[in-house]
Amino acid sequence: ITLLISLCLLYYSFREWKKTLATLGLTIWAINLTTALIYLGGGEMNFILGALSVMVMVFTLAISIHVHHYVASCIDEPDPLAVALKIAWKPCVLATLTTTIGLFSLTVSEIGPVIQFGYAASVGTFVSLITGLGLTPAVLTLWPIDPKMVHSGGKRWNFQQCANWLIDHAGRVSIATIILVMTTGVGLFSLRTKIDPLDFLPAEGRVIQDVRAVQNNLTELDSIEAIVDFGDEEIPFIKKVEHIRKLETIIQQHPAVRHTMSLASFFPKQFPESPFETARLLSHAQSAHGDNDFTSDGERLWRISARISSDADLPQDQVYDELAVMIDDPNVILTGVAPLLRRAQNQIFTGFWESFSMAFVIITIVMIVSLRSIKAGLVAMVPNLTPICIVFGILGWYQIPIDIGIMMTASIALGIAVDGTFHFLVRYQSQFRLTRNSAQASRDSLLMTGEPIFTAAVITGAGMLALTLSNFVPTARFGYMMTSLLVAALVGDLVLLPCLLALRPKKSDDQ
């Protein structure tokens, strides 16, 4: 599906089938090369890496589109391909570097599949750069761009009208955009995480139906296990059973606990008065000791399994904390699926901010070094925060939880957003040196780079949107988020950034 979507959009952009098919062939080669490198590196496919091939494909297409546009803009030069590559290599390399930084920052996570995705996608990004920047010129050599099509103007005039309006109203547009970003950005403080393995599966799938049937007719599947440590002290078996029953009574008082079960559940509430009957009962329990799942280490450790009701409408981490307070016994350890999911949720939230912060700091440094100005680098990063604030802010406003698929998108989106920023700024610097007029330079740069940035975002977003057809929910959510972030990045790259630069104060020739 992604191939078909990309094929149609490429043809709409190139208007030539041979060039379109050749460019699409390059992306398929890039996907296969990335997969081969992962295999040679000892990597294995997992449920997260399923999105890798689509990412490599759309990254390669984005670079190829930019190279194609640079060649078209230099069509009147004696050697347009050479001149275009001289201009294109810097923004393409810097954009790839920042995207790689965003992907590599995912390796700070403690979640194994996310770490593997960070490494594998970083490799795929460099493969995309080599393919897009290194092999696209070969395609353009075999099927050169028709100068008549370039000189006819084509779709560029649509962007001229938009560019003129934006620059003429730069102040008001900047204020409106910043207010939008700040308003939605408030939602970032309300972000929360949630992990439920059942959410990874199709809602109408057979597995979900079977799980619901078990929950409704038999028992709950979610549980918290209480491990009771009696230590090395010699305690009579009956005393242990009585202590376990007391703990079960405490646990059952919580409204979210449907029922409990332990080894004590298999003994009568009242032991026989006859010593012989009691001895026989205990002897039978002792002989069956190795066959039960409720004791371990010579009856030193006892397990109480508490089934958590799915209708309680309480977060499992809250149930865990409340049970720990109710039991208040240092010899009782709470474990099981719920605490495991709780730790995973905390790790997703921590990993989300750690990876994003790492990517933001490193990309900011790259931006400052490339622009040779601290002030310019910091200002240029403002539009790149636009997609994060808008999309993730909306998630916070609507209380949509972050899962493992959504977690990875922030750092990746930051790196991708910088892609358009570099292409725009490289052209802006060139035009500003010619005109010495910031508003005019911003207008010209928007005319020159607006169309390829927009086209690359549309093709990349459409390719990512194909992931939403996946039956694996985190992959589908990853596709939705990446598409939304790519669209929101256009607001930063083609609206906020040009308007901010147009408001830049005039300077003398010496300055």
What pLDDT sits at residue 156? 47
- CATH number at 64 reads 1.20.1640.10
pLDDT bracket for residue 262 (50, 70, 90): confident
Q: How many domains is the chain partitioned into structurally?
A: 2
Does one domain contain both 274 and 233?
A: yes
- Global pTM? 0.74
Does one domain contain both 27 and 172?
A: yes
Last residue of a domain, one of 322, 341, 360: 341
477 touches 405 (CB < 8 A): yes
Does one domain contain both 435 and 333?
A: no
- Is residue 272 in some structural domain? yes
Q: List CB contacts of 324: < 8 A, sequence separation 6 or more.
A: 334
- Is residue 481 in some structural domain? yes
- Is residue 24 in some structural domain? yes
Separation between Cα atoms, residue 30 and residue 313, nearest integer Å = 47
- Residues 66-113 have pLDDT tens digits of 898 888 888 888 888 898 888 888 888 888 888 888 888 878 777 777
Does one domain contain both 390 and 355?
A: yes
Does one domain contain both 491 and 402?
A: yes
- Is residue 221 in some structural domain? yes
Mean pLDDT over 456-476 rounds to: 81
Does one domain contain both 451 and 359?
A: yes
Q: List CB contacts of 296: < 8 A, sequence separation 6 or more.
A: 303
Does one domain contain both 184 and 92?
A: yes
- Residues 208-238 have pLDDT tens digits of 788 778 777 777 777 888 898 888 888 877 7
- Residues 283-333 have pLDDT tens digits of 655 555 555 677 887 778 888 888 887 776 677 777 888 888 898 888 888
- Residues 16-50 have pLDDT tens digits of 888 889 998 999 999 999 999 988 888 777 767 77
Does one domain contain both 468 and 394?
A: yes
Last residue of a domain, one of 278, 311, 341: 341
- Is residue 509 in some structural domain? no
Does one domain contain both 332 and 216?
A: yes
Last residue of a domain, one of 341, 369, 402: 341
Q: What percent of the chain has pLDDT over 90?
A: 11
Residue 432, pLDDT > 70, answer yes
Does one domain contain both 92 and 102?
A: yes
75 touches 86 (CB < 8 A): no
- Give the domain extent around 174: 2-144+157-198+342-502
What pLDDT sits at residue 390? 92
Q: Enumerate helices (H) and strands (E) in the chain, giving the number of each.
A: 22, 5
- Residues 167-188 have pLDDT tens digits of 999 899 999 999 999 999 999 8
- Is residue 316 in some structural domain? yes
Q: What is the CA radius of gyration of the chain?
A: 30
